[in-house]
Amino acid sequence: DDDDEVLFEMATQLGDLGELVGGPDRASVLLQPLEALCNVEETVVRDAAAKSICKIIDLLPDQVAQGTAVPMVIRLANGDWFTSKVSSCALVASAYVKSNGSGKQQLLQLFCTQLAKDDTPMVRRAVAKQLGAICSVVEAQEQHAKVVPLYKEMVMNDQNETVRLLALEQSPIIAANIKDVSFVLDVVKPQFQELSWRIRNSVTKGLGELAKACGSDLSVSQLGPLLPPLL
């Protein structure tokens, strides 16, 4: 159908049918139409489809997910258009949880190397939005080896300001999930000196949640001195 409102409703409702199509073992039949909806041009349709797919993946037994959901995420990530690549970014964390060792490595490689280095800013923005979700599900070794360096790269060096903003917004979640909070502080603190008010504003809005993740001592010693200049 070419009516975006119809497609949006389909994308939304399909996610609630997982228990009604024969139970978790058969819920994967819903992935095919949802995968098609992940390729459409309208953003709200793709976002709704991605949310529904995550609901379905959560229902699937690990073995079923490994045979259906994981290959689907990989297909979307390797699609010809930015639409499928953007959609795949929102699915990696859910698929990762259900994957085995080789599947996890493949998904992480897709996310941290292929999608994160895509020439299209829209794809890199989608990666930046999911940094916190990925950091929440990967093992500690992978956090420090792949996710945290990617976070730093996107905040410090990406030429697209929106990518930097979206990556910065993930700072509290990343700080809450890694043991070395000082690394996140080292990335965040220089952003207060940025000429761009949008960057400074983004960091400021996240200070409360970042303080919770850092604890009282680091908040007083590292974050407190940053506040007076902002005021």
Three state DSSP letters for 39-66: CCCCHHHHHHHHHHHHHHHHHCCHHHHH
Residues 149 and 187: beta-carbon distance below 8 Å: no
Question: Nearest to residue 76, comparing CAs of 44, 54, 102?
Answer: 54
* Least reliable range by pLDDT among 90-94, 107-111, 157-161, 203-207: 157-161
Residues 165 and 127: beta-carbon distance below 8 Å: no
Q: What is the pTM of this model?
A: 0.86
10 or 193, greater pLDDT: 10
Give whichever of 104-113, 175-184, 196-205, 215-224 has the largest mean pLDDT: 104-113
pLDDT at 207: 84
pLDDT at 2: 72
On the question of pLDDT at 9 being above 90, the answer is yes
Amino acid at 151: Y
pLDDT at 1: 67
* Least reliable range by pLDDT among 138-142, 168-172, 226-230: 226-230
pLDDT digits (tens, 9 = 90+) for 190-223: 877 777 888 888 888 888 888 888 888 888 888 8
